[in-house]
Structure 1
Amino acid sequence: MEPHRWNHEAGFGQTAVDTVKEMPTVVTQRLGSVLTMKTREVCRSCNNGWMSQLERQVKPLVLSLMDAAVRGWSIGILPDEAARLSTWAVKTAWMQALSAGTTVGHSDSYHYLRQRLLPPPDCKVWLGRHAGELDFNIKQMAVQVRRSDRPWDDGDIRNVLWTCLTFRSLSFLVYTVDGWGVPPPTRDSNRWRPVWPQSMSIRFPARFDVSDQDVLSAVALQAPALHTPDLPVFERDPDGTQYRRRN
């Protein structure tokens, strides 16, 4: 059977001072596995150059972490290894978002990652040992954040992207934001080991495993300083779920 993958898109947005509207729910079936996803937002020189080199550098680290997770071993991650893993995780999260047509930030963020080979400021990356049914899986949520003391349609917004990349026994949780002012998130260190920013060696895995439910809740907006608007009107999408098949 020819490999294929599904992409599920859903969400909601504020469309008036008192109204939240459900965005279209779209389920797209595509040919090819999740390992062969492509985005046309990257030039050939970058794809075959620093991105390819980054993949080669990170591969043995990911395989050693995966082996340790499966065997139940404790393994150390040095600061330079954590930096490479985090850079790769942020790059992979952005490529997934771009392939889905999602806005992930300003061009300054891309240039920072490209030129320094480090995640931009305010990015965070965690790593957990996954135990569940999810195999090669990507969960992603994009949110536009505005200050609560300003008009709902104020143009000064921040693009927040949560991504969880699950590869069998590993789950990389990636948070990126394209501007200042958004309170930094935290995650349970008993399940998620912080690997960026990190200035010292860390031990992997954490005390507890990451379950499928932990993966799902990890990308949900769970921060006391951030909240969805409490509005009286919620408009449903009248068209229901749309199913598409693409080659």
Structure 2
Amino acid sequence: MAKQCVFCGEKAGSREHVLPAWMARAAPKAFTESSGERNLYTGGQMKVIPHKFATMTVKCVCGTCNNGWMSRLEASVKPFLMQLTRGEQIALGPAEQTALATWSMKTAMMMLRASYLDDPHPIPKSDYKHLYEYGKLSMRRMRANAFYVEPPGDDEHHIWGDLRVLPFSTRYRGYQVKLRVGWFAVQLLSVALPPAYEIGQLGRTLRAQPLWPAQADQFTWPPLKPLPYETWLAMEPRQLAVMKRPV
């Protein structure tokens, strides 16, 4: 367990629900009662342990963060998050898109902290610090796309959520986060760039809806075509255009 809050550096120990408790109460029974497994990394070794995706908690944050900005972030996505996870039609404006992208990254960070008890950690400390200080993702070096992915299985036994975090190294180093909760799936890309550079915008396709940076027009959910689950699992980081920032 982290001794210091992974966001602000104060003393950790406040119990944070990886997914909000209200979400577990509103989710399908097959989600709240389903058991799964997760990889636990500590002391240079990995072991597989059972866990319940809906009720997982971590103690890597302080009470001020947990009951302050993190609680406000959960409240900001509450009006629409369950509709997204059920694949229901909804439109989100720029403020809701920003909250959703931020919530997705924060949730992925907490899920990872439930698995990685020691450093090194797949997501660098600088990205935790950025989220804490600015309350949103970096507009210069982070991008996100949302996908409509049918949960695998049947009505009684299906995998309601999963997470994958993979580093990549092309011209610049970075990592890919793939988080899925119900039908809502998001791919977040973070690239370590020199200060004078930024990532180009992601384009909209029949299966991908740009989420971050927030779009001036509405985010319309779901995308026109669902993405098969196996395709989602195999998805690699797309080639990103890197360009000099305007002076």
Same fold by TM-score greater than 0.5:
yes
Q: Relative to 1, partners in 2 of residues 1:9 and 1:43: Cα closer, same or farther, differing over 3 Å?
A: closer
> 2:108 touches 2:163 (CA, 8 Å); kept in 1?
no
Question: Kindly tell me: are residues 179 and 224 of structure 1, through their superposed partners in 2, closer, same or farther at Cα, counting changes over 3 Å?
Answer: closer
Q: Do the aligned partners of 1:55 and 1:88 also contact (CA within 8 Å) in 2?
A: yes
Cα contact 1:93–1:174 (8 A) shared by 2: no
2:133 to 115, 122, 126: 115
User: Per-residue deviation at 1:172?
Assistant: 2.0
8 A contact 1:105–1:177 mirrored in 2: no
C-alpha separation in 2, matches of 1:146 and 1:113: 25
The within-5 A match list for 1:1-247 is: 4-8=35-39, 26=46, 28-30=48-50, 32-67=51-86, 69-70=87-88, 73=89, 75-101=90-116, 102-107=121-126, 109-120=127-138, 121-133=140-152, 135-143=159-167, 145=169, 147=171, 158=173, 160-180=174-194, 189-200=205-216, 201-218=218-235, 220-223=236-239
Contact kept in structure 2, 1:105 and 1:178, CA below 8 Å:
no
Q: Which has the higher contact order (CA 8 A, sep 6+)?
A: 1
Q: What RMSD over aligned residues (CA atoms) do the two structures have, in Å?
A: 3.2
Contact 1:6 1:27 in 2 (8 A): no
- Give the CA deviation at 1:141: 2.7
Deviation at 1:124, TM superposition (A): 1.5
State the distance in 2 between where 1:65 and 1:192 align. Answer: 14
**Structure of higher CA gyration radius:** 1
- Alignment TM-score, normalising by the size of structure 1: 0.65
Q: Is the 8 A contact 1:124 1:174 kept in 2?
A: yes
Contact 1:191 1:206 in 2 (8 A): yes
Which residue of the partner structure matches residue 153 of structure 1? none
Unmatched runs of 5 consecutive residues or more in structure 2: 1-32, 153-157, 242-247
1:101-151 deviation line (CA, Å, top 9, x unaligned) = 2331133x223211221112311122122224163222313315375xxxx
Paired-residue identity, %: 22
Deviation for aligned residue 1:206: 1.4
Query: SS state of the match for residue 107, structure 2?
Result: helix
**Is the contact made by 1:164 and 1:172 (CA closer than 8 Å) also made in structure 2?**
yes
Q: CA separation of 1:116/1:206 partners in 2, compared to 1, >3 Å: closer, same or farther?
A: same
Q: CA contact under 8 A between 2:144 and 2:186: conserved in structure 1?
A: yes
Q: Deviation per CA, 1:44-80, whole angstroms, max 9, x where unpaired?
A: 221222112211221222123345x24xx4x321011
Distance 1:25 1:63 in 2: 36
Q: What runs of 5+ residues in structure 1 fail to find an aligned partner? A: 11-23, 148-156, 226-247
Structure 2: distance between partners of 1:29 and 1:126:
30
Aligned to 1:235: none
Per the alignment, in what secondary structure is the counterpart of residue 198 of structure 1?
coil
1:84 counterpart letter in structure 2: A
1:4 Cα deviation after fit: 3.7
Aligned length: 194
Distance verdict in 2 for CA 1:105–1:187, change over 3 Å: farther
